[in-house]
């Protein structure tokens, strides 16, 4: 690899905060904005936004190839510019075509961002004078983004109380500014060494599909990705409809979860550094299984003990998420050949894409049968994933198992 050093680590993390503030400000309004400001029916808006997401499914393959050719940082910058322009375009949308085009521009940017940002952080870590492991860099990035999402969500929550059409446009434009400023900061101040392509056998997508440890881990991670998104997806319906609980409880639990994720990521990863990555992920799977089984055991209309049980169970979820987010990316990075890191990490994001596609149907179909079934099913899937990681451990190279990395010269 190049001897050039990385620079601008503080700017990179700060830009990720700003990026996620923009995301957090508009994410709660993603459908409501068009419903409020255009005459298009809500059902059609949902179809248009879903189509905008669907057309971006091939993008990670292209983004991974480009990250290995031109570097991931330019893709991160371009993705933020695309999202910024897309949110600015929202102010001019009046009909179905505009909704589709503006939403497509934003979702294209989102897909490029998630397909390149982890490669950018890994490349930055390689050239950094810091002795932090990649898992620690990923933990710091996750902490800053979580904090930014919380700030953005709080701004929107406070702003939409009695909000007007003009205020919704202000929020959209403010989100755009966040993305554009973040892009400008990374472009101006962040540098990471370019990876030198390895000689020998080319590492393309066909070779990747024959890489048993990586493919197996990406498949197992789909279960973890479903788990990490299920709390936000299902908590409100589960508590209010399934348990007869108060409407204020789910937002309070989600807020507490967000605060803990924003505070604990890096300290926890530092503590688990002596352990193998697979063992840390096994612990996360066990915690998620315990969380799901705890939720499945709750019964309605007994709030005197259901509320503390929900709090304790959500803490299990939070602990699992704190462990999984950075360590899963650290293991995926360690399993990626250096010359094909961009392609590998972009394809790894499909585990989250697939999870986002199947999770709503998974939860709603099972919940309609019984309030406990989504949690029982997900708990069993996590136990199966735990066993899968135990088997995976046999074929993962020892060099990929370490959370701690040797200090750089």
Cβ atoms 399, 330 nearer than 8 A = no
Q: Which pLDDT score, from 0 to 100, does residue 159 have? A: 67
Cβ atoms 178, 15 nearer than 8 A = no
Helices 341-348 & 303-334 angle (0-180, nearest 10): 160
Q: Which pLDDT score, from 0 to 100, does residue 185 have? A: 93
Distance CA 125, CA 152 (A): 27
Q: What does pLDDT average to over the chain? A: 85
Cβ atoms 186, 76 nearer than 8 A = yes
In this structure, what are the phi and psi dihedrals at residue 206, rounded to the nearest 5 degrees? Answer: -65, -40
For tokens 């198992």, what's the residue? 401
Distance CA 186, CA 11 (A): 7
Q: Which pLDDT score, from 0 to 100, does residue 132 have? A: 77
User: What does the block give as tokens for 102?
Assistant: 């503006």
Count of H-run helices and E-run strands, the chain: 17, 0
Q: Which pLDDT score, from 0 to 100, does residue 341 have? A: 86
108-123 residues labelled b (16+ CB within 10 A) or e (exposed):
bbbbbbbbbbbbbbbb
pLDDT tens, 209-264?
888 899 999 999 999 999 998 888 888 888 888 888 887 888 888 888 888 888 88
Domain architecture of the chain: domains with CATH: 9-189 (1.20.1250.20), 205-401 (1.20.1250.20)
Distance CA 294, CA 298 (A): 7
Q: Which pLDDT score, from 0 to 100, does residue 221 have? A: 95
Distance CA 212, CA 178 (A): 40
Q: Which pLDDT score, from 0 to 100, does residue 141 have? A: 85
Q: Which pLDDT score, from 0 to 100, does residue 163 have? A: 63
Helix, strand or coil for residue 372? coil
Cβ atoms 343, 205 nearer than 8 A = yes
Distance CA 68, CA 1 (A): 13
In this structure, what are the phi and psi dihedrals at residue 191, rounded to the nearest 5 degrees? Answer: -135, 145
CB neighbours of residue 100 within 10 Å: 18
Distance CA 271, CA 135 (A): 12
Q: Which of 109, 101, 103, 99 lies closest to 36, judged by CA?
A: 99
For tokens 């204020």, what's the residue? 248
Q: Which pLDDT score, from 0 to 100, does residue 2 have? A: 42
Per-residue confidence in pLDDT tens, the chain, 409 aa = 444 687 888 898 889 888 888 887 777 677 777 877 888 887 788 788 878 888 888 898 899 889 888 889 999 999 999 999 999 998 888 889 988 998 889 989 989 998 899 889 888 888 877 777 788 888 888 888 888 878 887 777 676 666 667 777 888 888 899 999 999 999 999 888 876 555 444 567 777 888 889 999 999 999 999 999 888 888 888 888 888 888 788 888 888 888 888 888 888 888 888 888 999 999 999 999 999 999 999 988 777 788 899 999 999 999 999 999 899 989 999 898 888 888 898 889 889 888 888 888 888 888 888 989 999 999 999 999 999 999 998 888 887 887 655 444 3
pTM: 0.82
How long, in residues, is the chain?
409
């Amino acid at each position: 690899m190049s001897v050039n050093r990385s620079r601008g680590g503080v700017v990179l993390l700060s830009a990720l905060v700003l990026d996620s503030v923009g995301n957090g400000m508009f994410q709660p309004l993603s459908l409501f904005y068009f419903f409020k400001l255009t005459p298009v029916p809500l059902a059609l808006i949902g179809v248009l936004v879903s189509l905008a997401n669907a057309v971006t499914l091939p993008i990670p393959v292209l983004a991974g190839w480009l990250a290995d050719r031109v570097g991931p940082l330019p893709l991160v910058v371009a993705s933020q510019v695309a999202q910024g322009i897309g949110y600015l375009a929202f102010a001019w949308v009046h009909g179905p075509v505009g909704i589709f085009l503006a939403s497509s521009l934003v979702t294209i940017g989102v897909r490029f961002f998630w397909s390149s940002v982890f490669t950018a952080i890994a490349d930055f870590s390689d050239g950094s004078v810091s002795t932090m492991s990649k898992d620690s860099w990923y933990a710091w990035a996750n902490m800053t983004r979580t904090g930014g999402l919380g700030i953005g969500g709080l701004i929107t929550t406070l702003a939409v109380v009695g909000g007007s059409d003009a205020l919704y446009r202000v929020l959209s434009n403010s989100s755009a500014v966040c993305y554009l400023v973040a892009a400008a900061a990374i472009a101006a101040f962040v540098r990471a060494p370019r990876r030198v392509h390895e000689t020998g056998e080319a590492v393309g997508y066909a070779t990747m599909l024959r890489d048993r440890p990586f493919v197996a881990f990406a498949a197992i991670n789909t279960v973890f990705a479903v788990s990490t998104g299920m709390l936000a997806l299902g908590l409100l319906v589960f508590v209010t409809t399934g348990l007869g609980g108060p409407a204020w409880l789910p937002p309070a639990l989600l807020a507490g979860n967000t605060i803990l994720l924003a505070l604990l990521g890096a300290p926890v990863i530092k503590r688990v550094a002596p352990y193998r990555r697979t063992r840390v992920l096994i612990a996360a799977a066990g915690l998620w299984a315990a969380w799901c089984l705890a939720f499945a055991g709750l019964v309605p209309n007994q709030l005197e003990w259901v509320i503390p049980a929900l709090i304790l169970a959500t803490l299990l979820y939070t602990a699992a998420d704190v462990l999984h987010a950075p360590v899963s990316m650290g293991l995926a990075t360690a399993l990626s050949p250096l010359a094909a890191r961009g392609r590998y990490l972009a394809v790894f994001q499909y585990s989250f894409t697939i999870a986002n596609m199947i999770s709503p149907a998974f939860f709603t179909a099972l919940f309609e049968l019984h309030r406990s079934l989504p949690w029982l099913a997900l708990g069993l899937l996590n136990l199966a994933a735990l066993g899968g990681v135990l088997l995976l451990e046999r074929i993962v190279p020892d060099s990929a198992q370490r959370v701690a990395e040797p200090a750089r010269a």
